[in-house]
Structure 1
Amino acid sequence: MRPTHPDELRAAARHIGAAIGRRRILTAAGAAAVLAFTTNLPGSAHAAAADAAALKADPFTLGVASGDPQPSSVLLWTRLAPRPYEPGSGLPRGTYTVRWEVAHDARFTRVARRGTATAHPEVHHSLHVEVTGLDPDRVYYYRFRTGTWLSPVGRTRTAPARDARVRELRFAAVSCQAYHDGYFTPYAHLAAEELDAVFHLGDYLYEYAVNATGGARAYTDRRLPTRFNRETTTLEDYRLRYGLYRTDPDLQAAHAAHPFVLTWDDHETENNYAGGDPENDVPPEEFLLRRAAAYRAYWENQPLRMPQRPTGPDMKLYRRLHFGRLAQFDVLDTRQYRSNQAYGDGWQVPGPESQDPARTMTGERQERWLFDGWQRSDARWNVVPQQVVFARRRDVPSDAHRLSMDAWDGYPASRDRVLAGARAAGVENLVVLTGDVHVGYGFDLKEDWDDPTSRTLGTELVATSISSGRDGADRPANWETLTRANPHLRYYNGRRGYLTVTLGEEAARADFRTVPAVTVPGAPIGTAASFVTLAGDPGLHPA
């Protein structure tokens, strides 16, 4: 079936929009119906089986990945793409049988599980294999095979049993990897770390154009196709952009080394969109069609389980993971359900619009799900991986300060409800993980933001970007102003890198890992700062 031109998609969206009313949001069923004109879903169309033995080029150019570890299962991912920079990735329309193996050792002499899966053209020949019957808290190795081609070997790990007493858990937090801003060097170092999991907090890709030389990468020995030199808006655009990002060798190494737990932010779709409200002035039905395309491509290219598969412009990404009795992770989606930004977005003086108690960052259903999970939690640490800065963050130390309307500062009533929900549930060791802002922060979460001596309710750790913002600086230009304006800000650094966190029964340690540059490849890694927070005594202290 031929690809549909963007103008035809817009016309179809407008037709559906007219049927439901110009000002009403396009329904999930409507968006799915429009997408069905170009892609369908497995089961709604029956592509003929293709001969994998006829593949003349390596179909595993995007590597392998695993995600969302459970005590007895892991999710394995790959996508067949012999030519990932081309529409269709160089595969004819057809289904391909792929064999997979999970073993106790990297040489696959002791295979634990094996099976077959079908790569469908309707989901861009991606595979999401849920392997069950595994032992808890165990390292496994996995690989795929189709025709004569064998994938790289991946390493993954199951979670501990739900009731297990876990002495230590070590994970990383990453965010914001703009391809055009530099090399993914931090991922090369992350791949060598000893970790139980990696939490990706959003902006896995950027919708902005990437020129022929790769932006700040300044390629001199290669040229990227001109199809990347435009903003992503269609399903084909987003699919191609994931093909570009996933060919990066450092990103592939990190995915092959550790299971990832992912949530998105805005750039996987469009900068600073809010629920059904786009950044730009386009009809809502047109934006919801774009969101449906972005969500579809996101699921196709990430190690996510079947409950996360989208329906039209909707995708339930918030979910809960347990690592024994040591930690409960409540992964949030603060982008899909939020109220529109107050005062037109940006940094603004707070007022009645932003302080409206009806405003929400999470939506009512997700908020209730979070509180119910806390009420049932018996974990030592309750960790909340999410997207945007949670703590209050004034721009200047005066009453004339402004706040970011895109962060939780633009939704203070929603933040107050979250902190009240944690207190009501008796959550003593709250850790919020954040991305988005391309810097590393460490915050104490205060009961009263205006009183530095008030009770500390938890800790927020903000992971800097992998590459977004280019090289950065140890002390950005506003370092002194921001630290004076926010006494609860314990750490601020503007270099690229990632965050590692080691949870124990008595304390949590955070190490801010940074590189001096991403605009040239191969930079070394170092630890810019380390902090600890004690169980039962929240707040950051230098390690």
Structure 2
Amino acid sequence: MFKSENFERLLHHPMKRRSLIIGAGGLTGLAIASQFSHQRALASDRFSDNPFQLGVASGEPYPNSVVIWTRLAPEPLNGGGMPPVNVRVRWEVSTDSSMRRIVARGTEFATPELGHSVRVIVEGLQSSTWYWYRFYVGNQASRIGRTRTAPVAGSNLSKFNFALVSCQNYQQGYYTAYKYLAQDDLDLVVHVGDYIYEGGISTTGPRQHNSSEILTLEDYRNRHALYKLDANLQEAHAMFPWIVTWDDHEVENNYANNISEIDTEPDQDRAIFLQRRAIAYQVYYEHMPLRPFSQPKGPDMQLFRRLSFGNLATFHVLDTRQYRTDQPCGDGTKERCPEVFDPQATILGQAQEDWLYQGLSSSQARWNILAQQVPIAQRDLKAGEGATFSMDKWDAYLADRDRLMDFLGKQKPSNPVSLAGDVHNHWAMDLKADFNKPESAIVGSEFVCSSISSGGDGNDTIPSYVNSSDNPHIKFYNNRRGYVRCNLTPTTWKADYLAVSEVTTQFGTISKPASFIVENGRPGVQRI
């Protein structure tokens, strides 16, 4: 499936052949690993170091179940440092933080085919309930994590709190925002992409990557491990369940469907890029608390899905990266070009678009949340000097966006709100039936979070285009790092923008430069 002359050369590269073959074999091994789990297992529980250095995590909360996760890695930056055999891992779940009232326990196998990661679907739980969990290997225990189940579908829910985060470039800053987030009053964390960055080593930031640009199975595992070693990120994972979706840097910058960005790497070849994507998808799955239906099949992975929280909120989690056609006019910010009007161009793909509209049409939730990667709202980045747009956002896929705006305007699903990241700034915007006609109807709202660290400290400058008459639907911009805290009730959505003073040191303080509300039945953001 992945044959080409370039791929053959890459396979015979002395440093990359072994990891590529392991990656391809691992993809096949995913389906059969469980057949051998009981046939061979590690006889000793002795490791070169603490096997739980990457912490614990949870996610995908349902009313009666949740995913808990860890990965055994006594040598995290050396492929994990585990022997190539299955390892029995015990787990337990309690209703108290001291782990005395155990309500569920069991054993799973950490397999080499999945990098000795462990995911457990803990079932039979009570809805809307906090639980605590931990893992054991032999007499070694992981830290204790905390998680929460969702309310029963359709049940009345008076409030729901979550944080929106994205973009955590390890080299460009410390994860100070996660330190504050972990202390917040939340039910959930929603991460909309760029969990890792694939690039090589930079000497200009406060921290450094652990290798040149990642390409192989071991490369990707070591890079995820480097990020997971961050203490603030571990604390945020341990305190709340997460919903995750990716953007581009989990594979490679600005990739589109089967196409790598334009560069000089071997993966310009489609077959080689698909192999790289397959490896990256596998390792992403290994490190995230996702349910088994997201287990990748080669270079394909099911990531768009829905999670509901009583009758208050439904998250329609989208994937605007895997199915999109190539960015028109290159991959950067350029003058608008005719290709943006191409009716065949897509950022969602037909199957996902149909799924989204069906879900919005049938939703009974008060708030319908599109958790996705890049801003939907138009952003003229050179207002007054000739329209200029980023070709990696919805601005470059006008047929898809026009259909979405038309659907929201005509079908009127209850309170549609887009959540996005990617751009490393805070934004609050209205979604318009026609962004080029300021008088057109407001059909939804959009909150865009800044990065956790990407872009460094940032500054307090506000670009002139933000306040331009060309962008009247843009209500707020902030160029500091941080996150967005969202507090939902049946009548009001309140979004607090949290900003960190600096991330290039570990001493940044946090402030709240702005808050916005959306009122039930009244689309559009209003500043408090």
TM over 0.5: yes
Letter in 2 for 1:480: S
Question: Could you report, residue by residue, the CA deviation over 1:43-87 in whole angstroms, capped at 9, with x for unpaired residues?
Answer: 258473113432352100000000110000000000000110112
* 1:137 paired residue number: 128
Letter in 2 for 1:200: H
Q: Report the CA distance shift for 1:37/1:513 in structure 2 as closer, same or farther (over 3 A).
A: closer
C-alpha displacement of 1:528: 1.4
Tell me, yes or no, if structure 1 residue 280 matches structure 2 residue 262. Answer: yes
C-alpha displacement of 1:349: 2.2
Letter in 2 for 1:149: Q
* 2:25 paired residue number: 36
* 1:257 paired residue number: 239
Question: Could you report, residue by residue, the CA deviation over 1:209-262 in whole angstroms, capped at 9, with x for unpaired residues?
Answer: 135x7x52258xxxx7xxx23001111111100010000000000000010100
Question: Do the aligned residues in 1 keep the contact of 2:380 with 2:389 (CA within 8 Å)?
Answer: yes
Alpha-carbon separation, structure 2, partners of 1:218 and 1:506: 44
| SS state at 2:106 partner | strand
C-alpha displacement of 1:426: 2.6
* 2:15 paired residue number: none
Question: Do the aligned residues in 2 keep the contact of 1:67 with 1:304 (CA within 8 Å)?
Answer: yes
Tell me, yes or no, if structure 1 residue 488 matches structure 2 residue 473. Answer: yes
Alpha-carbon separation, structure 1, partners of 2:459 and 2:519: 30
Letter in 1 for 2:8: A
* 1:4 paired residue number: none
Letter in 1 for 2:299: P
Question: Do the aligned residues in 2 keep the contact of 1:32 with 1:313 (CA within 8 Å)?
Answer: no
* 1:216 paired residue number: 205
C-alpha displacement of 1:37: 7.3
* 2:7 paired residue number: 10
Question: Could you report, residue by residue, the CA deviation over 1:422-443 in whole angstroms, capped at 9, with x for unpaired residues?
Answer: 3343314110000000000000
Alpha-carbon separation, structure 2, partners of 1:205 and 1:14: 25
**Structure 2 residue aligned with 1:104, among 86, 95, 99?**
95
Question: Could you report, residue by residue, the CA deviation over 1:465-497 in whole angstroms, capped at 9, with x for unpaired residues?
Answer: 000000001225xx2223313111000000000
* 1:382 paired residue number: 368
Greater mean deviation of Cα atoms: 36-45 or 344-353: 36-45
**Structure 2 residue aligned with 1:331, among 317, 327, 331?**
317
Alpha-carbon separation, structure 2, partners of 1:489 and 1:239: 39
Letter in 2 for 1:151: S
Within-5 A mapping of 1:67-466: 67-87=59-79, 89-210=80-201, 216-218=205-207, 228-280=210-262, 282-398=268-384, 400-466=386-452
Alpha-carbon separation, structure 1, partners of 2:217 and 2:457: 31
C-alpha displacement of 1:280: 2.7
Question: Do the aligned residues in 1 keep the contact of 2:88 with 2:110 (CA within 8 Å)?
Answer: yes
Alpha-carbon separation, structure 2, partners of 1:437 and 1:347: 12
Question: Could you report, residue by residue, the CA deviation over 1:365-384 in whole angstroms, capped at 9, with x for unpaired residues?
Answer: 00000001011101101000
* 2:524 paired residue number: 539
Letter in 2 for 1:431: V
User: Could you list the runs of 5+ residues in structure 1 that have no partner in the other structure?
Assistant: 1-6, 16-30
* 1:524 paired residue number: 509
Letter in 1 for 2:279: A
Question: Do the aligned residues in 2 keep the contact of 1:428 with 1:457 (CA within 8 Å)?
Answer: no
| SS state at 1:339 partner | coil
Letter in 2 for 1:274: A
Question: Could you report, residue by residue, the CA deviation over 1:175-218 in whole angstroms, capped at 9, with x for unpaired residues?
Answer: 0000000111100111111111110000000001135x7x5225
* 1:503 paired residue number: 488
Alpha-carbon separation, structure 1, partners of 2:226 and 2:85: 23
Letter in 1 for 2:491: E
Letter in 2 for 1:99: R
Q: Report the CA distance shift for 1:361/1:521 in structure 2 as closer, same or farther (over 3 A).
A: same
| SS state at 2:60 partner | strand
Question: Do the aligned residues in 2 keep the contact of 1:396 with 1:482 (CA within 8 Å)?
Answer: no
Letter in 2 for 1:206: Y
Query: Structure 2-normalised TM-score?
Result: 0.93
Question: Do the aligned residues in 2 keep the contact of 1:371 with 1:425 (CA within 8 Å)?
Answer: no
Question: Do the aligned residues in 1 keep the contact of 2:405 with 2:431 (CA within 8 Å)?
Answer: no
Question: Do the aligned residues in 1 keep the contact of 2:409 with 2:433 (CA within 8 Å)?
Answer: no
Q: Report the CA distance shift for 1:12/1:76 in structure 2 as closer, same or farther (over 3 A).
A: farther
Question: Could you report, residue by residue, the CA deviation over 1:417-461 in whole angstroms, capped at 9, with x for unpaired residues?
Answer: 112233343314110000000000000111121232321111100
Q: Report the CA distance shift for 1:39/1:451 in structure 2 as closer, same or farther (over 3 A).
A: closer
Question: Do the aligned residues in 2 keep the contact of 1:42 with 1:120 (CA within 8 Å)?
Answer: no
Alpha-carbon separation, structure 2, partners of 1:360 and 1:533: 29
Letter in 2 for 1:464: S
* Identity in percent: 44
Alpha-carbon separation, structure 2, partners of 1:438 and 1:218: 18
Alpha-carbon separation, structure 2, partners of 1:334 and 1:509: 26
| SS state at 1:130 partner | strand
Greater mean deviation of Cα atoms: 274-283 or 401-410: 274-283
Alpha-carbon separation, structure 2, partners of 1:437 and 1:162: 34
Alpha-carbon separation, structure 2, partners of 1:475 and 1:437: 15
Alpha-carbon separation, structure 2, partners of 1:426 and 1:9: 50
Alpha-carbon separation, structure 1, partners of 2:27 and 2:65: 34
| SS state at 2:92 partner | strand
| SS state at 2:41 partner | coil
| SS state at 2:316 partner | strand
Query: Structure 1-normalised TM-score?
Result: 0.90
CA RMSD of aligned residues (A): 2.1
Question: Could you report, residue by residue, the CA deviation over 1:252-297 in whole angstroms, capped at 9, with x for unpaired residues?
Answer: 0000001010000000000000110110351100000010011011
Question: Do the aligned residues in 1 keep the contact of 2:494 with 2:517 (CA within 8 Å)?
Answer: yes
C-alpha displacement of 1:347: 1.5
Greater mean deviation of Cα atoms: 466-475 or 520-529: 520-529
C-alpha displacement of 1:39: 7.8
